[in-house]
Amino acid sequence: MELDHAARLDQPARLIILYDAFGRKPDLTKDWGYAALIEVGGRRILFDTGKDGAVFEHNVDALKVDLRAIDFAVISHRHIDHVSGISHLVSVNPNVKIYGPKESFGIFGSSLPSTFYRKSGSVPDTQRYYGGYPPSVLTFGSLWPDANIIAVDRTMEVSPGIHLIALGSEREERHGLLELSLAIQTAHGLILIVGCAHPGIARILDAATKIDKRIRLLAGGLHFAAASDTDIAELISVLKDEYRVQGVAPGHCTGEPAFAALSRAFGDSNLYAGLGEVITVGALSTTDVASGE
């Protein structure tokens, strides 16, 4: 049953970090990758699944997260450090809806018109694709054929107040990579979750502010792990001056120098988002899921 929009906007949200390479919980396994559970307005959304299915399973079980109870999952992009727990998710919750980026010949399933390749009548029919009579649309499956995957190639509202922002990377080394970011409307502004921000954080924020100009919290990987101090200073300016982001919960590929710079720039609104942490949005606070604080 869909919740009414007002109920969702008025309730606080929680972000639980299920997978990352830093943290302070000895019973969890740190590893490169990202996964988080978002609880908002009675909905439970899994965002990404890390790079090792066994590690993902261990952390999920240790944190007592019931994957059978999630409403849907979002996979930000095709890189191995975000997708490897999908098989475990499907084994536990085989019918769960999984949103993933739709790319040509993509791992989440895709299709192309058969006009994408040139035809030639100068070769015999035995050397022509489909004997010279291809279907009008060629459909390609996913790496998880039994999963309920919905491939997304445009920004869309998947549930009232819950949006997927679809953008391609413009960086030469990542050209053509499509990434989904999750934007959730709340009474105080958007909660914006990013996997690696390959399209560029400024472009993602620009798209998000078309939904709501107020960015309450930006969480996830910002892809500054190898960035220069100059680039990190520009990131701070984009977040604070240009888009007036209220709070950040950086993780994954954000990078250690960027963690330090964000802490200086945002002070108490820079939330520690290590493995196992629970971030409550509304109060913009971090709590300890293991101790039940």
Give residue 1's pLDDT band: very low, low, confident or very high (50, 70, 90): very low
How large is the angle between the packed helices 229-237 and 256-266, nearest 10 degrees?
A: 40
CATH number, span 13-107+143-288: 3.60.15.10
Check pLDDT > 50 for residue 267.
yes
pLDDT in tens, 27-72: 999 999 999 999 998 999 999 999 999 999 999 999 999 999 999 9
Contact 75, 35 (CB under 8 A): no
Interval 77-129: pLDDT, tens: 999 999 999 999 999 999 999 999 999 889 999 888 999 999 999 999 999 99
Confidence of residue 281 (pLDDT cuts 50, 70, 90): confident
| Distance of alpha carbon 97 from alpha carbon 178, whole angstroms | 19
- Mean pLDDT (whole number) for 261-278: 97
Starting at the edge strand found earlier in the chain, the sheet holding 178-186 runs: 156-159, 162-168, 178-186, 189-194, 215-221, 248-251
Strands 13-19 and 35-40: antiparallel
For residue 291, what pLDDT band results from cuts at 50, 70 and 90? Answer: very low
pLDDT of 283 reads 55
Cα–Cα distances (Å) from 103 to 99, 115, 166, 179, in that order, read: 13, 17, 11, 10
Residues of the chain with CATH 3.60.15.10: 13-107+143-288
What's the confidence (pLDDT) of residue 173? 55
* Residue 11 pLDDT level (bands cut at 50, 70, 90): confident
Please say if the pLDDT value at position 289 is more than 50.
no
pLDDT band at 286 (very low <50, low <70, confident <90, very high): low
Average pLDDT for 164-176: 78
Q: Give the residues across from 219 on adjacent strands.
A: 193, 249
